[in-house]
Amino acid sequence: MKWSAFLPLFLLPAAFAATKDKDAVREQLIDLAAKGNGLIKLDSKTFDLLTLPSRDWSASIQFTALDRRRRCAPCKEFDPSWNAVAKAWSTAPKEHRDTHFFGTLDFDEGQTVFQKLGLASAPLVYVYPAAEGPRQLPNGKTAPSKYDFSNGFEAEPLANHLSSHTPIPIPYRAPIDWARWATFISGILSLVLTLRFISPILQSRWTWAAITVLTSLTMTGGFMFTRIRGTPYTGPDGSWIAGGYQNQYGQEVQVVALIYGTLSFAFLMLTVIVPYQSSASRQRMQVYLWSAVIMLIYSVLVTIFRLKNRGYPFKLLL
């Protein structure tokens, strides 16, 4: 943690920086930013400098709580993309770079600021427009604007959003995911290599049958719903079945798909296997067995459905 080393260094000038004119402050901010390659590690004092009422620069500040004790998972998730964007900005041409600053204020270093702004949650991103000077907003608005996390924690949308506040668009470029490509290509290669050996499997219709049936089972089990809505695997109270007709948990997909699978398997046995039995009694036994299975599982299915759809009037054995 090399920043702790720097803290006293800039605490001292910060103390009487308030009296100094804002050019000095800007100089100080610039070399702070230079030190933290584009990102200023803030505390309550430097925060006041950065958000000087007479500032002619703009600043975007991340309020976070990275300390392990705070247990802020989203903070940790968001921090890298924030740093990436800040770093990207540090590569902007100098005359632009020095009119917009990126800062990060950790809760443990600026509790007073959090209280002052009445911030209850983290992470947050505020963009402070320039209060005066050429880059002041046309509507003269100086109050900070909040970044909406509805687009998730990725760096891409963040950069796009902040670019509307910086003099020039942030030169952010999404890093190429080498690992992904490597795995992809190696996968292709291995497939090609093993093609010769697995080709009998690939050419067997039953592999494809299995694939087809499994796909349609998962789909009809509502898998896409859980994917798109990102519903949890089980309920908060550990219940595996979600109340309500238009809702479901991840586990229901498995249960329902299993039920469907068993039922159609039973049908298949009755249709395909049983007639080829060479002994009457065993055949009879199987017939009764599978019919019973069908009846039971089907009634279970209907019961589960009644749980989901209260108004459903019908029921089978159960």
Chain residues in the site for other proteins (CB under 8 A)? 145-146, 148, 150-151, 205-206, 208-209, 212-213, 215-217, 219-225, 227-229, 245-248, 252-253, 256, 259-261, 263-265, 267-268, 270-284, 287-288, 291, 294-295, 298, 301, 305, 308-309, 311, 313-314, 316
Cβ closest to other proteins, residue 11 vs residue 201: 201
Q: Where are the beta strands (DSSP E) in 263-314?
A: none
Residues with Cβ within 8 Å of 178's Cβ and at least 6 positions away in sequence, in order, are none
Cβ closest to other proteins, residue 197 vs residue 206: 206
Cβ closest to other proteins, residue 58 vs residue 83: 58
What is the Cα 250 distance to its own chain's centre? 18
* Percent helix / strand / coil, the chain, rounded to 5: 60, 10, 35
Taking alpha carbons only, the member of 165, 264, 138 closest to residue 213 is 264
Report, in Å, the least distance between residue 93 CB and other proteins: 26
Residues listed for the chain: 318
Burial zone of 56 (CB within 10 Å; 0-12 exposed, 13-18 middle, 19+ buried) = middle
Report, in Å, the least distance between residue 212 CB and other proteins: 5
Number of Cβ within a 10 Å radius of residue 295: 13
Cβ closest to other proteins, residue 45 vs residue 161: 161
Taking alpha carbons only, the member of 82, 86, 11 closest to residue 48 is 11
Report, in Å, the least distance between residue 197 CB and other proteins: 20
Distance CA 225, CA 240 (A): 15
Report, in Å, the least distance between residue 117 CB and other proteins: 13
Sheet with 124-128, side-by-side order of all strands: 39-42, 100-106, 58-64, 124-128, 145-146
Report, in Å, the least distance between residue 180 CB and other proteins: 16
Give the H/E segment covering residue 217.
Answer: helix 205-220
Report, in Å, the least distance between residue 111 CB and other proteins: 20
Report, in Å, the least distance between residue 304 CB and other proteins: 9
Distance CA 224, CA 125 (A): 33
Cβ closest to other proteins, residue 194 vs residue 220: 220
Cβ closest to other proteins, residue 35 vs residue 308: 308
Cβ closest to other proteins, residue 90 vs residue 160: 160
DSSP string, 5-65: HHHHHHHHHHHHHTTS-HHHHHHHHHHHHHHTTTEEEE-HHHHHHHT-TT-SSEEEEEEE-
Report, in Å, the least distance between residue 251 CB and other proteins: 12
Cβ closest to other proteins, residue 20 vs residue 282: 282
Cβ closest to other proteins, residue 11 vs residue 268: 268
Report, in Å, the least distance between residue 122 CB and other proteins: 14
Query: Are 29 and 50 in contact, with CB atoms under 8 Å apart?
Result: yes
